[in-house]
Amino acid sequence: MDIKIVTTTAFTDQEPGTSGLRKKVTIFQQQNYLENFVQSIFDSLDDFQGQTLVVGGDGRYYNKTAIQTIIKMAVANGFGQILVGQNGLLSTPALSAIIRKYQAFGGIVLSASHNPGGLQGDFGIKYNISNGGPAPEKVTDAIYEHSQNITEYKTVATDSIDLSQIGKTKIRDTLVEIIDPVADYAELMEELFDFSAIKQLFNSGFKMCFDAMHAITGPYAKTILEQKLGAVTGTVINGIPLEDFGGGHPDPNLTHAHELVDIMYGKNSPQFGAASDGDGDRNMVLGQGFFVTPSDSLAVLAANATLVPGYKDGLAGIARSMPTSEAADHVADALKIDCYETPTGWKFFGNLLDANLATLCGEESFGTGSSHVREKDGLWAVLFWLNILAVHKKSVEDIVREHWTKYGRNVYSRHDYEGVDSKAANALMENLYHTFSHLKGKKFGKYLVEYCDDFGYIDPVDRSISQNQGMRIGFQDGSRIVFRLSGTGTEGATLRVYLESFEPDTTKHHLDAQKELADLIKLADEIADIKKYTDRDKPSVIT
């Protein structure tokens, strides 16, 4: 079969965000829209001919259609081998693990992560490099530049591949292999965690509930939790991946994972609850009537890492995104290791992990991971917690409260204002920036402004610079307010407001976070005029 050269015209809106290109499905369905972006990925790469490409996604609507297009284009562009998850499925952390295990040149992830799916939902595509992690900015910048100048793309005329059958097919000089999406990932988890101890935990009568939210993690959780570790059948709920995620919003937080929350805050709840998102890279952890913030989760995992076989030799360092609470910093100080503060976006952790400067990484947006892959990893975090629970034989709440007693509590919350008019959101940030010139040293009630800035980052490995990563206001007592526009939505803008205070007094550790942060919440609105610019009386989501 011959390679086809198809003439095309550039689209102006194909600039990747923090996690690739995300748009409505209907936008991706435009003639040549997907093809243009895929060709722009290939055009930005060097020396990939004959190399291996990994392809898979979270199973959302348009996933299988896009994979057929990508396979044909990858063949035409000269890849030697393409590894595709059965039925087009691969969780984002599993895809990263497969890139690393098989030394692939890179991979294409088809997902809009925690965004809704279905015909009227969202779709996304991003490129991961040979270390298994998201492409750094120099690569995404090159992809965008090519997308703005593209005039043609390459493909081949061939029948669609049967994605449902594991096996190999030759197309021209390219070997296309459909692989088990779970096996390699499950094998890696067995290497990292004490499966024997976790089995004993379940055999003792310990119960948990894992909500896969009708997303990608269902098959992984069923295989690992129910089959390999012996959790009772039914431990995994909403475990079948659906193209529209069952009509739900596959974001594992207190608002969208309401079924799990109702179970864990109800009568006779299991001892442990967890959920993961659309593509399997996020996690939420709950005890009985007790929510563990992602920031606290990272800190607890770091403090207990040596209890887990894969981390028994200790941590090289910890990394957290700038809006994530400083709870991990206190652990790093106690362990006498570095804690790196990076911009939001998992790609910023890659260099630190590759250089062995950090072992554990985390973001407040329900993402935690480690050097085992180059993505955040939802099910990995759940297994880490199970391993800690198996060793301590205490409740989730007791483990967290003992952690607070030792390190102090970073009282923390995030307020999201979703679907805000983009112009209004940008005007808010612009106005906030201009107020910074006279904020330092100003007193608001008991809060004295110690610093305010627009966060910038110099990568300690390659010295690359990332500017305008979020507006920070720090107070003399250690409290913080951070304002940031999210890069993961597809409609309007999402304003995220992060609020944090440090509480060393153990007699106050039981208090509700929203009540404890009430003064900061009011102050955030006062300083940024949130109600004025967003026309909202309250956030869309509070976590």
Active site residues per annotation:
113
Helical spans, DSSP H, in 117-206: 137-149, 183-192, 195-203
Q: Tell me the C-alpha distance between 189 and 383, whole Å.
A: 8
Q: Tell me the C-alpha distance between 499 and 482, whole Å.
A: 7
Phi first, then psi, for residue 179 (nearest 5°) are -120, 160
Residue type, 484: R
Query: Which strands, in side-by-side order, build the sheet including 447-454?
Result: 443-444, 447-454, 471-475, 480-485, 493-503, 409-420, 541-542
How would you classify the pairing of strands 480-485 and 167-171? unpaired
Residue type, 457: Y
Q: Helix axis angle, 378-392 relative to 195-203, nearest 10°?
A: 70
**Beta carbons of 500 and 418 less than 8 angstroms apart:** no
Give 3-state DSSP helix, strand, coil % of the chain, rounded to 5: 35, 25, 40
Phi first, then psi, for residue 203 (nearest 5°) are -65, -20
Instruction: Indicate if the alpha-carbon torsion angle 384, 390, 392, 394 is positive or negative.
Output: positive
Instruction: Indicate if the alpha-carbon torsion angle 305, 310, 314, 319 is positive or negative.
Output: negative
For the chain, the first-to-last Cα distance in angstroms comes to 53
